[in-house]
Amino acid sequence: MEEIKFTDHIKSLDLGEVAIWGVDISEMGYDDDQYSRLLLKEELVKINRLKNKQSRLTSVVARSGLRILSGVYLNKDPKKIIFKKLHNGKPIIDSHKFYFNLSHSVNWIVWAFSISGKVGVDLEYVRNNVMYEKIAERYFHRCERQKLNQSNDPKRLFFDIWAAKESLVKASGKGVFAGMKDITIPIDHDGIPPNLRVGDFYLKKVEAGSRYACSLASEAPILKQPCYDFGGLQWQS
């Protein structure tokens, strides 16, 4: 992730700031009890239904990390935070102008937080075995497919476009697959520009290395976008 900072102190969010936290769970020390005890019984029941051990681990860290970071930003006990869902399924923390989203792919988890407006973040591992042409035919606009055909690295561009689209539909609260075809991402000869306005949202490409594509969407202009390492956070459970 770009410009990752190690910190043991979380600063309050400023207007226009979207803070991104990330962690590579393959490199963090993991204490199952330390994280899982922060989750509600219904959260654990849902996670334990996952058959894959790696998926369960990722989900525990993703959900507990959301509670930890939200709790610090809101000065609340992480275990006492109540998440609710809007009619479209988008999770919120009731009665707070506090916006968040998370995404995970393979070993990485990212969280995004803002007090300025709705946010969406998406992280995608750039896989070699994806039949991106068929997926693009179904979910991409004709202009986007044309740019793929012209690209020197169409697979990489495919994941950049997908991450951008998914971050936008997550920010808006639309269903991921339902909203994909309604969005067209502007693409120039260098790929997706680093900062865009797409519809009602601001879009920013987040540098995540050669193996990941990451995109951030925000209802408010993104004036600051610091990245922090969750694995470097010192906290008391």
Nearest CA-CA partner of 122 in 80, 179, 176: 176
Instruction: Delineate the domains of the chain, giving CATH numbers in brackets.
Output: 1-29+98-237 (3.90.470.20)
Average pLDDT over residues 179-201: 91
**Scanning the structure block, which residue is given the tokens 């865009």?**
196
Q: What is the pLDDT of residue 234?
A: 47
Pairwise CA distance, residues 87 & 68, whole Å: 25
Mean pLDDT of 72-84: 89
Mean pLDDT, the chain, rounded, equals: 88
Measured in degrees and rounded to the nearest 5, phi and psi for residue 136 equal -60, -40
Whole-angstrom Cα distance, residue 229 to residue 150? 36
Residue type at 70?
S
Instruction: Give the Cα separation of 1 and 220 in Å (integer).
Output: 22
What was the pLDDT predicted at 179? 75
Mean pLDDT is lowest, of 2-6, 75-79, 105-109, 205-209, for 2-6
Residue 23 in contact with residue 230, Cβ under 8 Å?
yes
Choice among 78-82, 111-115, 136-140, 195-199 with the minimum mean pLDDT:
78-82
pLDDT band with cut points at 50, 70 and 90 for residue 30? low
Predicted local confidence at residue 235, as pLDDT: 44
Amino acid identity at 9: H
Query: Using one digit for the tens of pLDDT, what is the confidence trace for 32-50?
Result: 677 888 899 999 999 999 9
Cα separations in angstroms, 102 against 58, 63, 145, 216 = 12, 9, 27, 10
Q: Report which of 101, 138, 108, 144 is spatially closest to residue 123, judged by C-alpha positions.
A: 108
Poorest-pLDDT segment among 54-58, 217-221, 228-232: 228-232
pTM of the model: 0.91
Q: Which amino acid is at 29?
A: G
pLDDT at 175 over 80: no
Stretch 4-33: mean pLDDT: 77
